[in-house]
Structure formats: structure tokens, C-alpha cells
Amino acid sequence: EVQLLESGGGLVQPGGSLRLSCAASGFIFSNYDMNWVRQAPGKGLEWVSTISGGGDKIYYADSVKGRFTISRDNAKNTVYVQMNSLRAEDTAIYYCAKQFLYNWFDPWGQGTLVTVSS
Amino acid sequence: EIVLTQSPATLSLSPGERATLSCRASQSVSSYLAWYQQKPGQAPRLLIYDASNRVTDIPARFSGSGSGTDFTLTISSLEPEDFAVYYCQQRRIWPLTFGGGTKVEIK
């Protein structure tokens, strides 16, 4: 069974940094693109970033480009997102999601909440 | 960026009724559209991909149709567990984008 477990969320001040992790199990991790998708409180879904199985192709939403960095460690079956220069509008539940076929998301982890506030 | 507009924002129906949800794209996405279901406090779940293909284990009462810019998710007869928020998503062009969601609530 595929499992995705996010961690690393919490309260951070504006301008601060946070690194989220997503530990994966139940599939051959290096064979799949991995994604981060976020959801602000009471709002809809926003794709954040995608990294290919080998880590050589990376894509970002314009809203996070230059501030967030996605990476993966295939030996540890873990994908990360380093979030710098955080803003109030980055407050959201951050989900990691496994690639399904091509650029669909399934399944998703349970999410980790990031709150940016002073 | 491709903008996906979902309508209506809220659909109030009774169990057993048919639900018809719409997703319109600002430009053609061919058939590269998916539908997700999200229940309160849960992560989204993929229901339909490539406009009309149901994911394994998704009940047959869920069906998707459309191509180009206009898409529909139909729930033929609502079960109590189907009351949730539904999102569409396109993968035709980066950035990947989602619609704003349709909430299907109990009337």
C-alpha cells in the first residue's frame, strides 16, 4: 500500500524558512515524479512544485519560484521542499502527492500545516 | 496559465439525485483533465483522469465527459458519502492548475 507522510510544518514568522519532508513507502520511489500541492485555509487547491523521479526535471508555480526549492533523496524515499522568505499568503496545508500516470496526483499524504504569522 | 472555472460553486441536492458539475478551461486542454473529491478534513482523492477514465475502485456512478474547454463530472445517483467538494485539474500546460471547486451539499 502506498503511504505518504508529510512532516515539518509549524508556525514561522514572515521572512522565515521551513523545510517540509514527505516520506514515501509502498512503491519504487525513484520511478515516480513527486509533487507538492497546497491549500490555504478554507480555499481551493494550488499546485506548488513537481520533481521528476531522477530529480533532473523540476517545475515551480510562479507564486513560489525563487523562494521554494524541491528536492528528493531516492535512497531515503523522501521528497522535500525548502521554503524561504515565507509570506502570510504561504499559510496552507501542504500535501505531497505521488504521480499517477503523467501529472495527475494520486495518492496524497495527509498534509502538514504551515502557518506564517508574527 | 490556463484558468479553470467550475460551476456552480455550490450544488444542493438530495441523496439519490443526479449531480452535474461543470469545469470550463480558458483555452483547450484537449482531454487532459482530471476530477478530485475532497471530504472535510481529508486529502483530495483522484476520481477521473484524462476527462473520462475512472480510477480503479471509484464507483461507476461517477463519470466524466468533455474535451477541449468544456468538461462535466456526473454523479448518477448521489450516495451520502458523495457530499464533498470536487475539483478539476488540467495537465495540458505548465503550470498545472485547479479549478476553484464545487461543493455538493445535502439539500
Q: For residue B98, give the nearest of A47, A95, A108 by CB distance.
A: A47
State pLDDT tens for residues B53-105.
Answer: 999 999 999 999 999 999 999 999 999 999 999 999 999 999 999 999 999 99
Question: Rounded mean pLDDT of chain B?
Answer: 98
Residue type at B56 in one-letter notation? T
Question: For residues A40-49, b (16+ Cβ closer than 10 Å) or e, as one string?
Answer: eeeeebbbbb
B41 touches A at CB < 8 Å? no
Mean pLDDT of B29-55: 98
CA distance B48 to chain A (A): 10
Mean pLDDT of B27-49: 98
Torsions phi, psi of A88, nearest 5? -55, -35
Q: For residue A104, give the nearest of B38, B49, B95 by CB distance.
A: B49
Nearest residue in A to B49, CA atom: A104
CB contact under 8 A, B43 and A109: yes
Q: Which of B96, B97, B102 to mutate to test the interface with A (most CBs of A within 10 A)?
A: B96
Mean pLDDT of B17-32: 98
Please give the pLDDT value at position B86: 98
Please give the pLDDT value at position B78: 98
CB contact under 8 A, A46 and B98: yes
CB distance A103 to B96 below 8 Å: yes
The one-digit pLDDT tens for each residue of chain A (118 residues) are 999 999 999 999 999 999 999 999 999 999 999 999 999 999 999 999 999 999 999 999 999 999 999 999 999 999 999 999 999 999 999 999 999 999 999 999 999 999 999 9
CA distance B93 to B28: 10
Please give the pLDDT value at position A84: 98
Mean pLDDT of B1-26: 98
Tell which A residues from 55 to 74 touch B, by Cβ distance under 8 Å.
59, 61-62
CB distance A83 to A90 below 8 Å: yes
